[in-house]
Structure 1
């Protein structure tokens, strides 16, 4: 991870768990948390994000710059990264496009690149065999990792030409695991962390429940070379996937879902993204476990969610696994939708994660409306964040926000994608920043002297 300075966007309101509690807590240093989610009735295609006072938004690149899938098909911009190292650090943004089923998309999946300096946008990689491309990461050795979000999906690596806008070679990396990939991240030792975007606690594997929906660690035989190594699954000795964890394996990467579960790997309900911050691995679990009942035949039936998703934190030193953000614990539950009677803004179906420049966690929902939340790493004795607040919310009706990302080259700007927009050719990448950007930076020691204890 990159050397950080403090972007004083991140600290949030203390969250109470009744009514419209988001507005009732401590104001952050640099934004006042939103009181409620965006209402689609207030949608403005030129400014689809509801943001705090003092912030602005603009299009970085959309289908008017590059229309990959024509005839009314959305481009489904999904995840973002930039070239995080090298002499042109931060100049080029790389994006996956989550189009599904090659039978319906004869061009196949795509990866695009935007020159943030000139605005030039072009295809970087496309193949009829690519299906549901999702996660994407820049590696410390100057390549791109991207992956497919389908059962048995591949993780691939792009080697770039010197212009960083042209693919030299795309290489399959089966040793990292055949999984329904979404999140990808690396630690400082070059280990790769991935998840299996699968409802492991209800769908299972070939009638076996729970199975799949795990968290995995790939340890390469040689740093920077993903052609060979060992794949491990996260096992947790505790209820509901929290407690003392350990990496079990090595497992068979070609059957990672099944072999990981056979080794004792923990099954979660649809893990979608992960983020390494310091010595902690955060994982977005988009759905909660289901309640159960028996039908007339005595068969077990899964019913409603017990809670609507959460973020877990894995301490990579101690391997303790805790609930970091969970509705009803340190953030309100969402009730209904904006505009409906009895609506309460809250946390629902967390999807993508990002690291804020001061090390706090940013989260966006796979939900309508898609809300963006900030969670401070200041935690309580149970490992839950003490400060969670609502930063932005998407009003575009039917659309989903995804791909939240702060570039290490410009820590003032939060990038976020919109997919399946109600606006014609409206899928694209947006940027959100303060209107006055001069006050956004402070030195690291400001955080050290703010009188707060950070629990690690």
Structure 2
């Protein structure tokens, strides 16, 4: 996930022109659709939303990285004082996180990607002992980003770069900190990969992280074997070929029924973006992460300031969270908190969607359920905000403990602080 510092501010005049409620530009609301600052109905992670972003609390001298609700404790998992992979003042760029979700000692080992430009690495932290080590590293790995545990017990990691690839890491069944084999999975497309998710039946979802990127589904011939199958791209029905293209002025029109269009099996091995262009698949504004919850695939579209919901049962796409609709609009210059540049997604313990921004202060939001079934979250609440002015939060993830959220702090101003933390609701 690339650090972005957009300077365009949405003003009250623009809000009026767009027909947005002026209340969305008032001081730091933490929820929309009329919800106030009451206690969130978040199950094991229930919280009182914080008042706003950490604009006035920025400092590189911190003991805890987040402004967070009362009743939560932040604890370091591992930073560069524990494992310094690259040394010499070079950030490890700790990124996405996952644990061994199934099998023996499930939940004990936390796997992390490191988003450096070359000589990329995957590391593991033993959550029982605190020991950390590199389990895989290659000179040709570039900007390793996404990481997922598969239902059959391997790891999928992705490269967020031009010509990016997906790799499958097979682990020793007796020692989940040892990699026995690595396979490149070109069948999942050569793309600017970031987020990745896997269904129990073996279906894999990926994205192309750029303005004009598409959303993809890989259907394997056999569950658990990613060497054979077919990649598909999402295409919204009823739009002209021109309307399928990325346009920052018209992305809001990209909702409704869609079709998964099969792509040329040979072309995806070298350029899946070109393969999706050949069928005029729908283009979005920097789709970055994906998260499946139930029958819905959520996609964070950073340049659109929205998260879309892809109903996998009905094949309908809707705007689930969107700044100016069911989330506040940010005006940093005026000190107004808002929803901007959504980046990483996570399924919360009660099934709600957690969202972190690729933005100054890197706010963490929680989207409410869609109880009225209009395709949009009924509320958005602000859980936390990052204090370090040079950093961003990435890799939000819930493992086996429903009261613990893992997250990474990337490229902070604080020395040797690039690493992984957890925030836990007190028992």
What TM-score bracket applies, with the shorter chain setting the length? Answer: 0.7 to 0.9
The match for 2:278 is 262
The alpha carbon displacement at 1:26 in A equals 3.9
The match for 1:63 is 80
The alpha carbon displacement at 1:151 in A equals 1.6
Matched, 1:424 2:420: no
With normalisation by structure 1, the TM-score equals 0.81
The match for 1:406 is 398
The match for 1:452 is none
Alpha-carbon distance between aligned partners in 1 of 2:254 and 2:148, rounded to the nearest angstrom? 26
With normalisation by structure 2, the TM-score equals 0.86
The alpha carbon displacement at 1:42 in A equals 4.4
Match among 298, 302, 305 for residue 282 of structure 1: 298
Further displaced range: 255-264 or 57-66: 255-264
The match for 1:321 is 317
Alpha-carbon distance between aligned partners in 2 of 1:41 and 1:410, rounded to the nearest angstrom? 30
The alpha carbon displacement at 1:25 in A equals 4.5
Matched, 1:17 2:18: no
The match for 1:126 is 137
The match for 2:230 is 230
The match for 2:249 is none
Further displaced range: 258-267 or 91-100: 258-267
The match for 1:145 is 156
- Secondary structure of the residue that 1:63 maps to in structure 2? coil
Match among 262, 274, 280 for residue 249 of structure 1: 262
- Secondary structure of the residue that 1:287 maps to in structure 2? helix
Alpha-carbon distance between aligned partners in 2 of 1:261 and 1:189, rounded to the nearest angstrom? 28
- Secondary structure of the residue that 2:283 maps to in structure 1? coil
Task: Tell whether the 8 Å contact from 1:419 to 1:428 is kept in structure 2 after alignment.
Answer: yes
Matched, 1:372 2:383: no
Gaps of 5+ in 2: 1-21, 240-251
The alpha carbon displacement at 1:378 in A equals 2.5
The alpha carbon displacement at 1:430 in A equals 0.6
Task: Tell whether the 8 Å contact from 2:58 to 2:389 is kept in structure 1 after alignment.
Answer: no
Alpha-carbon distance between aligned partners in 2 of 1:380 and 1:17, rounded to the nearest angstrom? 21
Alpha-carbon distance between aligned partners in 2 of 1:91 and 1:16, rounded to the nearest angstrom? 45
Matched, 1:180 2:189: no
Alpha-carbon distance between aligned partners in 2 of 1:17 and 1:26, rounded to the nearest angstrom? 18
Alpha-carbon distance between aligned partners in 1 of 2:66 and 2:211, rounded to the nearest angstrom? 30
Alpha-carbon distance between aligned partners in 1 of 2:359 and 2:25, rounded to the nearest angstrom? 21
The match for 1:165 is 177
Alpha-carbon distance between aligned partners in 2 of 1:261 and 1:388, rounded to the nearest angstrom? 34
The alpha carbon displacement at 1:377 in A equals 2.1
The match for 2:128 is 117
The alpha carbon displacement at 1:198 in A equals 1.2
The alpha carbon displacement at 1:343 in A equals 1.8
Alpha-carbon distance between aligned partners in 1 of 2:371 and 2:206, rounded to the nearest angstrom? 25
Matched, 1:311 2:307: yes
Task: Tell whether the 8 Å contact from 1:16 to 1:22 is kept in structure 2 after alignment.
Answer: no
Gaps of 5+ in 1: 1-14, 103-107, 201-212, 289-308, 438-456
Task: Tell whether the 8 Å contact from 1:198 to 1:271 is kept in structure 2 after alignment.
Answer: yes
Task: Tell whether the 8 Å contact from 1:16 to 1:25 is kept in structure 2 after alignment.
Answer: no
- Secondary structure of the residue that 2:107 maps to in structure 1? coil
Task: Tell whether the 8 Å contact from 1:182 to 1:196 is kept in structure 2 after alignment.
Answer: yes
Match among 351, 354, 364 for residue 359 of structure 1: 351
The match for 1:450 is none
The match for 1:207 is none
The match for 1:301 is none
- Secondary structure of the residue that 1:257 maps to in structure 2? helix
Alpha-carbon distance between aligned partners in 1 of 2:258 and 2:338, rounded to the nearest angstrom? 29
Alpha-carbon distance between aligned partners in 1 of 2:393 and 2:258, rounded to the nearest angstrom? 32
* 1:32-111 equivalent positions in 2, closer than 5 A: 32-39=48-55, 41-43=57-59, 44-100=61-117, 102=118, 108-111=119-122
The alpha carbon displacement at 1:19 in A equals 1.1
Alpha-carbon distance between aligned partners in 2 of 1:221 and 1:344, rounded to the nearest angstrom? 50
Going from structure 1 to structure 2, the CA distance change for 1:18 and 1:41 (only over 3 Å counts) comes to closer
Task: Tell whether the 8 Å contact from 2:25 to 2:330 is kept in structure 1 after alignment.
Answer: no
Alpha-carbon distance between aligned partners in 2 of 1:49 and 1:371, rounded to the nearest angstrom? 9
The alpha carbon displacement at 1:379 in A equals 4.3
